[in-house]
Structure 1
Amino acid sequence: MYREIVIPNRSMALEGLDLVDAQYTSTVFGKHIHEEYIIGVIETGAQKFLHQKALKVASQNQLIIVNPDDVHTGEAASPNGWRYRAMYPTSEHFSEVYNDLGLGYDLAPYFPESVVSAPDIARDLRLVFDQISLNATRLHAETLLYALLMKLVLRLSIKKPEKQKQRYSKHKLYEAKEYLRATFDQNISLKELAEIAGLSQNYLIRAFTQEFGLPPHRYQLQLKINKAKSLLKRGHLTSEVAIACGFFDQSHLHRHFLRSYGISPGLFRRTMNP
C-alpha cells in the first residue's frame, strides 16, 4: 500500500533552489500555476496532467518540464501512483546561463515540450538530487546544477514565441491580470476588476479564462498561494501568512495550500526551516 509522501527541501546552491521528493497515489491537483519552472523526473509509476490544453502522460524516467505561469493539473496515471523528484529554478537562475551565452540577463528559456525522454538529462538531474541529499559542498552542487541548466537551455528550450499585436480587448485582459498581481491580497470585486479592464463582467470572465487558463478568482487564489509559499519558506508563522496573503483564516490557507502542493503549510514551513 502506497501513501502520499512529500519531502520539500531547499538547497543553498544558486542562492536558494527549491526541491521536492514526492510520492502520490490518490492526490489530484486541480488547475494551478507556479512562479518558477518545474524540472522533474518520474522515478516510478506514471503521472497524467493537463498542460497547454492537452492531456500529457509522463512515465518512469521521463522528464516533466513546466514553464512559469503555465496552468497545469496532476494525478496518477498508474495504479500505485507516481513518485518524482523535481527542482524549481527561477528565471533568475537561468539568466546566468543566458548571460554566459552572450544573450543577456533579460532572457528566460521557454520549454515547448512538457514531457521529454532524455536519459542523459534525467541522469544528470538525479545526480544533482543525490549530491545535494549527501550534503555536497556548495561549489560541487552549483557546478552540477549549472551544467544541467546549460544542457536544458541548449537542448530543450526555444526563444519564447512573441505575442502577436494584441487586440484592444486582449490588451485590457493583461491590464486586469497585472492588477490582480499587484492587489492579490485585497478582496476586490468582479465589478471593480471589470472596470479596470473596461470590459463587461461576463466578457471578462470568459475572455480571461480563455487567455490565461483560469478564471480571475482562481488566478488570484494561485497568486495568494504562491506568495504564501514564499513567506513560509522564510519562516513566517502560518497565522501571519494567512493574513498577509488575504486568506480568511488559517484553515482557508491550509485547504488551498494542501490542494496545490500536497503538503500542509505548517509542515512545509517546519521542513523548510529545520
Structure 2
Amino acid sequence: MRRSAGMTGGTFCVQVLQDGAVTAVDARSARAFARHSHDEFGIGLVTEGAQRSWSGRGQVEAGPGNLITVNPAEVHDGMPVDGPRAWSMLYFSPALVSSVVSDLSEGRVSGGELHAPVVDDARMARRFRTARAAIANGQDAEFEEALLLLFGALQSAGETTPGGTATGLKAVRACIDDDPAARHSLAALARVSGMSRFQTLRGFARLTGFTPRAYVIQRRLDLARGLIRQGSPLADAAAGAGFADQSHMHRAFVARYGFTPGAYAIAHRP
C-alpha cells in the first residue's frame, strides 16, 4: 500500500492499492471542483455535508449516506452545499470492473456502466463500507466478495444513458485522443469535423460536456498522470503531456482533483 496526504483547500488522503487496480481517496473539503473526468470507474460515499454536481447523467445532489458513482471519461464537477463535505471514494481500473461484470453475468458481458449518479440505499452504503474496510485492511477475499455484491446492486440501479452523436464530432474527439499534447486549434478541429468553428464548439460541448480546449486539458492531465505513475519527474510529465510548464499542470491538476501532482506522485512511489 502506498499513501499520500495533503492540504489543498481541504484534507485529502490518496492510497493506491492492489497493484494500481484500485485508488482510494478520502477527503474533506469546501472546494468547488471544475469539470473533469477520470479514466476509472468511481464509487464513493458522502459521509458529511452535501454536494451538488453536474454530470452527463444529469444534475444531482448527494448528502450523508448517499453513494455517488462515475464512469470512465464521464464529465462531472462538484461543489459543496452549505459548508464543507466529506467523502470516501474508490476508483477501479476498467480491467478490474470488466472482470467483476464478467463474473456477475457468468461470462456473457465483459463491460458495464454505472447508471445512477446518486444512490440513496442504506444497504448499498453498508456494502461500500465493507469493501472500503476490507481493502484497507488487506482482506482480499472479503474485498472481492463485497465488490461483487456492490456492483451487482449498482448495475441494476438507474436507467441507461442515451447515446448517439455526429460522426464529425467523434472524429474531433478521436483527433484529440490520438495526440493530446499536440496544438489543437479550434480552426483545425473544425476542419476535422467538417463544420464551422461555432458548430464544432457547441456540438462538442454537447457530446462531451467539455469545450474542445477543456477536453484537451483533461486528456493532457490523463497523459500526465500516466507519466507520473511511470516515475517521470513532474517537470518532464508536464512537458511530455503538452503543458506550457509545470505550474500550468499544477493549476489544472488541483482545479480538477483537489490534490497536487506532487501528492499524486508520492502516492504512486514504490
SS at match of 2:50: strand
Residue 161 of structure 1 and its aligned partner are, at CA, apart by 5.4
State the distance in 2 between where 1:229 and 1:10 align. Answer: 13
State the distance in 2 between where 1:162 and 1:30 align. Answer: 24
Give the one of 175, 191, 210 matched to 2:206: 210
| TM-score normalized by the length of structure 2 | 0.88
Residue 160 of structure 1 and its aligned partner are, at CA, apart by 5.1
Q: 1:57 to 1:163 in 2, by over 3 A?
A: closer
> Matched residues, percent identical?
25
Trace 1:26-41 onto structure 2 (pairs within 5 A): 27-41=31-45
Deviating beyond 4 angstroms after TM superposition, the runs of 4 or more aligned structure 1 residues are 158-162
State the distance in 2 between where 1:73 and 1:163 align. Answer: 21
Aligned-residue CA RMSD (Å): 2.1
Specify the alignment match of 1:182 in structure 2.
178
Specify the alignment match of 2:116 in structure 1.
113
Question: Which has the bigger relative contact order, CA under 8 A and spacing at least 6?
Answer: 2
Query: How big is each residue's C-alpha offset from its partner over 1:228-259, in whole Å with a ceiling of 9 and x where there is no partner?
Result: 22222333210110011000100000000011
| TM-score normalized by the length of structure 1 | 0.87
Specify the alignment match of 1:156 in structure 2.
154
Specify the alignment match of 1:127 in structure 2.
130
Q: Are 2:68 and 1:59 equivalent residues in the alignment? A: no
State the distance in 1 between where 2:112 and 2:124 align. Answer: 16
Query: How big is each residue's C-alpha offset from its partner over 1:17-37, in whole Å with a ceiling of 9 and x where there is no partner?
Result: 111111112x11111111111
- Matched to 2:145, the amino acid is A
Trace 1:1-274 onto structure 2 (pairs within 5 A): 4-12=10-18, 16-25=21-30, 27-52=31-56, 54-79=58-83, 81-100=84-103, 101-104=105-108, 107-134=110-137, 136=138, 140-141=139-140, 143-157=141-155, 163-164=163-164, 170-273=166-269
- Matched to 1:148, the amino acid is A
Residue 53 of structure 1 and its aligned partner are, at CA, apart by 6.5
Q: Number of aligned residue pairs: give it.
A: 259
- Matched to 2:187, the amino acid is K
Q: 1:29 to 1:54 in 2, by over 3 A?
A: same
- Structure 2, unmatched stretches of 5+, are 1-8
